[in-house]
């Protein structure tokens, strides 16, 4: 603790001089690189007044602002203003001036005014006035705080009392009826982790132990007029007074020590610590930010719209998202997302050495000495050591390179620094940075540099240096210590590449040792022999090609993928199992073109960071998000430069831009928010506002008449990082299931709803987040017209009365006739019954004996018949059902509507095994293969031995992807299994698989003939055998397809179906473009 305090004291002492010397241009950037970019809210946004005296956040996520002209609730879109005497405030708000706001753990917002206390519960939109005991009901309130029991402590000009809303009691602690203090104006309150309440007055600080209700002895800072309190890391407390700032550890033996920090004003109006343990000190002449290694002052800059809206800051609040809110005098509200502090800016114009005339960074590097190097456009090379900036000379270049353009930087494995100077060749600075060696092209020497215009530098795994120039690619070879020669590769590049441009702007090496280069002519993959080259360019109407031929950046990912940036987006090269490379494109951000990608660096948790002309992009394919960061999020500018990207050894990322550079550690960046709440803020019938249902924060219910043709619903996303960039989307269950994005709007308008029930679902996404999993539901009931409902009721009642009368009359007539007839038949029936009973008993005894004999014979015949059937329908060798079992099996399966996959699996090379090892060895293979297939399938799947070494699998699937996954699993298991030919000899086998779905399309109401699917599976198996074995092919029809007049499945019809694209083909291998022309015919 002591060393930290001494270090901070030194920083504060240095700050004394810094405050006086820092020029006006630095009003919103700290020496540490912290550069808050404030957003503003004022009268034009709906705020009731520009003097903001208090700020808090409720449990739902709404922001509350107190002004001298009423209470304001903010939802990120609009303000709801509450003033004295209005319907929502009633008599609860006796004064429009709000002095202090605080929220409790139970969701209650407490409002302190010069005329007493008001409150608002989370589930009730109206304010109410708590039952405070006299004479405290109308006391002038100066401070508020809530404790862990949801009690509210109220500091007033007459003392201190605590109100318990559960029981409605008021207990006086300071003032009439409580303890008397030298000064009873309770200006500030704080509760620490030890349950100690701190009271700030004009005559010092007092403390109450909330655990036992006892006062601590003595007064702290008895001569100080304490105006504000703040807790730091829950271990220290800061107090402000007319004598400056004081700090004390929390505990019974608290003792304040004075900070040697000169304040811009003696009037400290608020203090707080943010989530990153920065201390914010609000005064009437700006805000001080105190960090571990820096102190800086923020004030209003009339020329900078991103500065504070006013220097007189009256209130502070840090919300649950980490956004700092500053209420100002006459400037409204300024707010900044402190999570953007992870971005640190470098080379601010006001900090550049006098000889540096540009801060456009074209290359950036952090070397092994932890020095930062910046290559500038027209201003040479700048080194940053700690916080010291130095213009570094480049020997051998005009004016020592102070006006040169540095386009590439690299530190090799020996610690030497290589500097690429545009038009001046290549320089090598020794590890001590004291001696320089320059390399320039010589017209008559091919062993020199090919071109003086350097674009990029790269060191491969063997330590060889590769140089990308405007004339191509050069390799630097060290023949002896200090003696080098160049090998030129420009003329060896593919001719289509050279036709467009010979320049090389990016180089990387993959894990197999292949070199990848990129430029205006595309991407070239150079094999390890450095002779064989493969060119990749953009191909029209081919989504599997590059998004653009003009390549701007290239880098290897940690998993072996090659990342390529082009002028039209981001591309990923991924190697397939067959050894070729597949290209995946990413070309859009929020439905807008991504544009040029100038730099690519890996982040954490699978993130990829892309530098563009519209900011930094954070892309993650696995988690399916793409987030954009701009100057409003803490970047020095939106426009970054090509090639100016560097990954430090500790994971720090650095990017160069047209306005300096930015650095950050990606693991410290907060993940994109995925749970931003969406709230319903208004309902309108045409243009007439309707009252919001109670408790409509997550779900609302509304009922309207059928003559209401237009309903509008207003929503807000409670995320304030950049409210103007929040997004909304909706869908209506009962009308459409597709999500519809709202473009620059927060209103969902529904018109022409027919009578019935509907459910409106709305989701939101913040500026730096993804679509929220929290969906707001609004249940809408459109009632039927009055006349149609009552006429229907009348017709129904009349019909019931008439029908009831007719039924009663028919019943009466039938019943009278039946009764008379029944009496006549009763006596006759009695006589016949006695005789029949006797005959029946005799007959039953005889029949029972015959039945018992027949049942025994039938049981024996059934058992014999079943044994014969099993012997016919099962394979004697493997015990699996045979081909004869197919007809009853498919007849039974046809009764269900589930889709199945029919897979023919054939052992490759079985006939050869039979010839070499005999039929006994082949039988062993078949039995093991049958066991392997049975183990690879699910319990409800069926395995049949079809013929020879071919087996049929019948499996239930939900999609075609399940069939593909099962094929891959079977193929892999066969390949990994060691088949036993004898007790000492094993053999490795492969299999070929052909499949088809049955029915072929889910849209078909009838399953169709299963033999059609078997025929397609046989053709697929034939293709698998033809194209090299150890693979699979399959046929299926896409969802939404139709099989009308296409049910003939002769093999020539299968090929025609694929050509006509109503039949799809799938394969584990990549099919050539001319596949149809080489389709084998039988």
Residue pLDDT, tens place only, 985-1015: 888 899 999 999 888 775 555 666 788 889 9
Strands, sheet with 425-429, edge to edge from the N-terminal-most edge strand: 406-411, 417-421, 425-429, 436-439
Within the chain, how many helices (H) and strands (E) appear? 8, 74
Assigned domain for 524 exists: yes
Assigned domain for 774 exists: yes
835 with 911, same domain? no
pLDDT digits (tens, 9 = 90+) for 519-551: 999 999 999 999 999 999 999 999 999 999 999
Residue 20 has pLDDT above 50, yes or no: no
- pLDDT number for residue 430: 93
Residue 671 has pLDDT above 90, yes or no: no
922 with 845, same domain? no
- pLDDT number for residue 361: 97
- Which residue, of 568, 586, 604, is where some domain finishes? 586
Share of the chain above pLDDT 90, in %: 53
514 with 570, same domain? yes
- pLDDT number for residue 17: 35
State both tokens at 139. Answer: 């006391």
Q: Are 363 and 353 in contact (CB under 8 A)?
A: no
915 with 1016, same domain? yes
907 with 1029, same domain? yes
1025 with 928, same domain? yes
From CA 48, how far away is CA 332, in angstroms rounded? Answer: 9
Assigned domain for 348 exists: no
> What is the total count of domains within the chain?
5
pLDDT band at 853 (very low <50, low <70, confident <90, very high): confident
- pLDDT number for residue 10: 35
Assigned domain for 1047 exists: yes
pLDDT digits (tens, 9 = 90+) for 684-700: 888 788 888 766 667 88
Write the burial class of residue 763 (CB in 10 Å: 0-12 exposed, 13-18 middle, 19+ buried): buried
Residue 14 has pLDDT above 50, yes or no: no
Residue 861 has pLDDT above 90, yes or no: no
Lowest-pLDDT choice from 220-229, 671-680, 786-795: 786-795
Q: Mean of the pLDDT values across residues 728-747?
A: 88
- pLDDT number for residue 1051: 55
Residue 543, domain CATH = 2.130.10.10
The residue that leads in pLDDT, 904 or 293, is 904
Place of tokens 């006391």: 139
pLDDT digits (tens, 9 = 90+) for 66-89: 999 999 999 999 999 999 988 777
Assigned domain for 671 exists: no
pLDDT digits (tens, 9 = 90+) for 77-120: 999 999 998 877 777 888 999 999 999 988 899 999 999 999 99
pLDDT band at 1046 (very low <50, low <70, confident <90, very high): very low
From CA 614, how far away is CA 594, in angstroms rounded? Answer: 8
Owning domain of residue 791: 785-821
Residue 769, domain CATH = 2.60.40.10
pLDDT band at 451 (very low <50, low <70, confident <90, very high): very high
pLDDT band at 982 (very low <50, low <70, confident <90, very high): confident
773 with 806, same domain? no
789 with 773, same domain? no
Q: For residue 572, give Cα distances in angstroms to 139, 197, 383, 614.
A: 67, 58, 34, 21
What lies within 8 Å, CB to CB, of 248 at 6+ separation is 220, 236, 237, 239, 254, 255, 256, 257
Nearest to 363 by CA among 665, 661, 602, 32: 661
Assigned domain for 384 exists: no
Residue 1065 has pLDDT above 80, yes or no: yes
849 with 913, same domain? no
For the whole prediction, is pTM greater than 0.85?
A: no
907 with 1023, same domain? yes
pLDDT digits (tens, 9 = 90+) for 789-806: 556 666 778 778 888 888
pLDDT band at 2 (very low <50, low <70, confident <90, very high): very low
148 Cα distance to chain centroid: 34
The residue that leads in pLDDT, 743 or 591, is 743
Per-chain mean pLDDT for the chain? 87
From CA 501, how far away is CA 490, in angstroms rounded? Answer: 10
943 with 797, same domain? no
Residue 25 has pLDDT above 70, yes or no: no
Phi then psi for residue 598, to 5 deg, are -95, -20
Residue 5 has pLDDT above 50, yes or no: no
Report the range out of 585-589, 645-649, 714-718, 881-885 with the highest average pLDDT.
645-649
Assigned domain for 861 exists: yes
From CA 289, how far away is CA 855, in angstroms rounded? Answer: 98
pLDDT digits (tens, 9 = 90+) for 330-361: 999 999 998 888 899 999 998 899 999 999 99
Residue 1047, domain CATH = 3.30.70.270
Report the range out of 219-223, 478-482, 748-752, 945-949 with the highest average pLDDT.
219-223
Q: For residue 72, give Cα distances in angstroms to 3, 42, 68, 312.
A: 45, 11, 11, 20
Nearest to 1015 by CA among 1062, 1047, 969: 1047
pLDDT digits (tens, 9 = 90+) for 751-785: 888 888 889 999 998 887 788 888 898 988 888 87
Lowest-pLDDT choice from 404-408, 418-422, 451-455, 947-951: 947-951
pLDDT digits (tens, 9 = 90+) for 611-641: 999 999 998 888 888 888 998 888 999 999 9
- pLDDT number for residue 488: 94
The residue that leads in pLDDT, 423 or 813, is 423
Q: How many C-beta atoms lie closer than 10 Å to residue 384's C-beta?
A: 18
Pairing of strands 188-191, 196-201: antiparallel
pLDDT digits (tens, 9 = 90+) for 144-203: 999 988 999 999 999 999 999 999 999 999 999 899 999 999 999 999 999 999 999 999
pLDDT digits (tens, 9 = 90+) for 910-962: 888 888 888 888 889 999 999 999 988 888 889 999 988 899 999 988 888 88
pLDDT digits (tens, 9 = 90+) for 43-62: 999 999 999 999 999 998 99
The residue that leads in pLDDT, 23 or 940, is 940
Q: Are 762 and 771 in contact (CB under 8 A)?
A: no
- Which residue, of 571, 586, 601, is where some domain finishes? 586
State both tokens at 203. Answer: 């005559």
pLDDT band at 40 (very low <50, low <70, confident <90, very high): very high
What lies within 8 Å, CB to CB, of 18 at 6+ separation is 31, 295
The residue that leads in pLDDT, 896 or 713, is 713
Residue 310 has pLDDT above 90, yes or no: yes
Q: Mean of the pLDDT values across residues 584-611?
A: 86
Q: Are 711 and 748 in contact (CB under 8 A)?
A: no
1013 with 1037, same domain? yes
- pLDDT number for residue 871: 67
Q: Are 239 and 225 in contact (CB under 8 A)?
A: no
- Which residue, of 782, 813, 840, is where some domain finishes? 782
Assigned domain for 575 exists: yes
- pLDDT number for residue 642: 95
């Amino acid at each position: 603790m002591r060393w930290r305090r001494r270090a901070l004291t030194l920083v504060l002492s240095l700050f004394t001089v810094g405050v006086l010397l820092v020029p006006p241009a630095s009003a919103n950037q700290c020496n540490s690189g912290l550069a808050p970019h404030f957003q503003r809210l004022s009268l034009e946004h709906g705020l009731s007044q520009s003097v903001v005296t208090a700020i808090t956040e409720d449990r739902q996520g709404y922001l509350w602002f107190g002004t001298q002209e009423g209470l304001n609730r903010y939802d990120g879109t609009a303000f709801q203003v509450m003033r004295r005497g209005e319907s929502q405030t009633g008599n609860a708000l006796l004064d429009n001036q709000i002095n202090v706001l605080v929220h409790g753990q139970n969701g209650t917002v407490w409002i302190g005014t010069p005329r007493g206390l008001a409150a608002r519960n989370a589930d009730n939109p109206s304010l109410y006035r708590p039952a405070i005991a006299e004479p405290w009901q109308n006391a002038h309130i100066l401070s508020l705080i809530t404790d862990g029991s949801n009690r509210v402590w109220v500091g007033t000009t007459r003392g201190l009392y605590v109100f318990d809303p559960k029981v409605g009691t008021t207990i006086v602690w300071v003032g009439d009826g409580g303890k008397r203090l030298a000064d009873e104006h309770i200006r500030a309150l704080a509760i620490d982790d030890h349950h100690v309440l701190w009271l700030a007055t004009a005559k010092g600080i007092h403390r109450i132990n909330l655990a036992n209700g006892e006062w601590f002895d003595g007064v702290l800072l008895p001569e100080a007029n304490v105006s504000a309190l703040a807790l730091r890391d829950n271990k220290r407390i800061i107090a402000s007074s007319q004598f400056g700032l004081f700090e004390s550890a929390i505990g019974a033996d608290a003792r304040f020590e004075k900070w040697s920090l000169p304040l811009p004003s003696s009037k400290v109006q608020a203090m707080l610590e943010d989530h990153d343990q920065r201390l914010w000190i609000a005064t009437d002449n700006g805000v001080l930010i105190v960090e571990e290694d820096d102190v800086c002052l923020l004030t209003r800059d009339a020329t900078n719209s991103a500065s504070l809206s006013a220097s007189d800051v009256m209130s502070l609040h840090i919300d649950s998202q980490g956004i700092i809110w500053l209420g100002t005098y006459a400037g409204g509200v300024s707010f900044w997302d402190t999570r953007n502090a992870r971005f640190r800016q470098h080379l601010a114009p006001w900090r550049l050495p006098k000889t540096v005339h540009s801060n456009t960074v074209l290359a950036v590097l952090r070397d092994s000495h932890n020095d930062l190097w910046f290559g500038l456009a027209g201003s040479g090379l700048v080194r940053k050591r700690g916080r010291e900036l130095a213009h570094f000379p480049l020997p051998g270049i005009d004016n020592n390179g102070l006006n040169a353009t540095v386009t590439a930087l690299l530190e090799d494995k020996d610690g030497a620094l290589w500097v690429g100077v545009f038009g001046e060749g290549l320089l090598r600075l020794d590890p001590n940075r004291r001696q320089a060696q320059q390399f320039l092209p010589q017209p008559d020497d091919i062993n020199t540099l090919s071109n003086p215009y350097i674009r990029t530098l790269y060191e491969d795994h063997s330590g060889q240096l590769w140089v990308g120039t405007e004339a191509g690619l050069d390799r630097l070879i060290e023949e002896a210590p200090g003696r080098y020669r160049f090998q030129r590769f420009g003329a060896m590049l593919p001719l289509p590449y050279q036709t467009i441009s010979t320049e090389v702007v990016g180089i990387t090496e993959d894990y197999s040792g292949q070199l990848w280069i990129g430029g205006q002519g595309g991407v070239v993959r150079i094999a390890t022999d450095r002779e064989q080259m493969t060119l990749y360019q953009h191909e029209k109407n081919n989504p599997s090609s590059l998004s653009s031929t003009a390549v701007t950046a290239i880098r290897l990912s940690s998993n072996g993928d090659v990342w390529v940036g082009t002028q039209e987006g981001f591309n990923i090269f991924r190697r397939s199992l067959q050894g070729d490379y597949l290209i995946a494109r990413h070309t859009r951000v929020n439905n807008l073109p991504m544009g040029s990608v100038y730099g690519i660096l890996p982040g954490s948790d699978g993130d990829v960071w892309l530098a563009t002309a519209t900011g930094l992009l954070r892309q993650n394919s696995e988690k399916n998000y793409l987030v954009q960061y701009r100057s409003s999020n803490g970047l020095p500018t939106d426009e970054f430069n090509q090639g100016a990207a560097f990954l430090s050894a500790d994971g720090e990322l650095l990017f160069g831009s047209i306005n300096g550079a930015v650095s950050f550690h990606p693991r410290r960046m907060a993940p994109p928010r995925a749970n931003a709440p969406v709230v319903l803020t208004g309902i309108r019938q045409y243009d007439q506002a309707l009252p919001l249902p109670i408790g409509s924060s997550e779900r609302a219910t509304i009922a309207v008449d059928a003559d209401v043709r237009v309903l509008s619903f207003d929503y807000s996303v409670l995320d304030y990082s950049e409210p103007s960039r929040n997004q909304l989307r909706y869908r209506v269950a009962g009308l459409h299931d597709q999500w519809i994005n709202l473009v620059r709007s927060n209103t969902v308008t529904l018109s022409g709803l027919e009578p019935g029930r509907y459910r409106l679902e709305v989701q939101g996404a913040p500026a730096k987040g993804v679509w929220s999993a929290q969906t707001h539901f609004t249940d809408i009931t459109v009632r039927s017209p009055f006349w149609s409902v009552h006429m229907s009721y009348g017709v129904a009642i009349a019909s019931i009365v008439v029908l009831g009368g007719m039924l009663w009359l028919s019943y009466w007539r039938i019943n009278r006739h039946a009764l008379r007839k029944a009496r006549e038949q009763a006596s006759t029936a009695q006589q016949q019954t006695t005789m029949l009973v006797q005959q029946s008993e005799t007959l039953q005894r005889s029949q029972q004996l015959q039945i018992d004999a027949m049942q025994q014979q039938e049981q024996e015949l059934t058992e014999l018949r079943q044994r014969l059937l099993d012997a016919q329908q099962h394979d004697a060798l493997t015990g699996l059902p045979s081909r004869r079992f197919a007809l009853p099996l498919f007849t039974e399966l046809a009764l269900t509507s589930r889709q199945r996959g029919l897979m023919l699996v054939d052992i490759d090379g079985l006939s050869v095994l039979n010839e070499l090892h005999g039929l006994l060895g082949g039988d062993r293979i078949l039995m093991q293969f049958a066991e392997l297939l049975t183990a690879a399938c699910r319990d409800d799947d069926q395995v049949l031995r079809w013929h020879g070494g071919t087996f049929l699998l019948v499996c239930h699937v939900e999609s075609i992807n399940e069939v593909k996954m099962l094929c891959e699993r079977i193929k892999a298991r066969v390949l990994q299994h060691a088949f036993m030919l004898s007790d000492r000899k094993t053999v490795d086998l492969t299999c070929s698989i052909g499949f088809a779905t049955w029915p072929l399309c889910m849209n078909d109401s009838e399953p169709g003939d299963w033999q059609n699917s078997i025929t397609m599976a046989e053709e697929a198996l034939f293709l698998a055998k033809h194209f090299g074995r150890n693979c699979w092919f399959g046929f299926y029809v896409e969802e939404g397809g139709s099989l009308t007049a296409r049910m003939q499945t002769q093999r020539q019809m299968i090929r025609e179906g694929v050509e006509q694209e109503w039949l799809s083909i799938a394969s584990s291998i990549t099919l050539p473009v001319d596949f149809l022309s080489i389709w084998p015919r039988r």
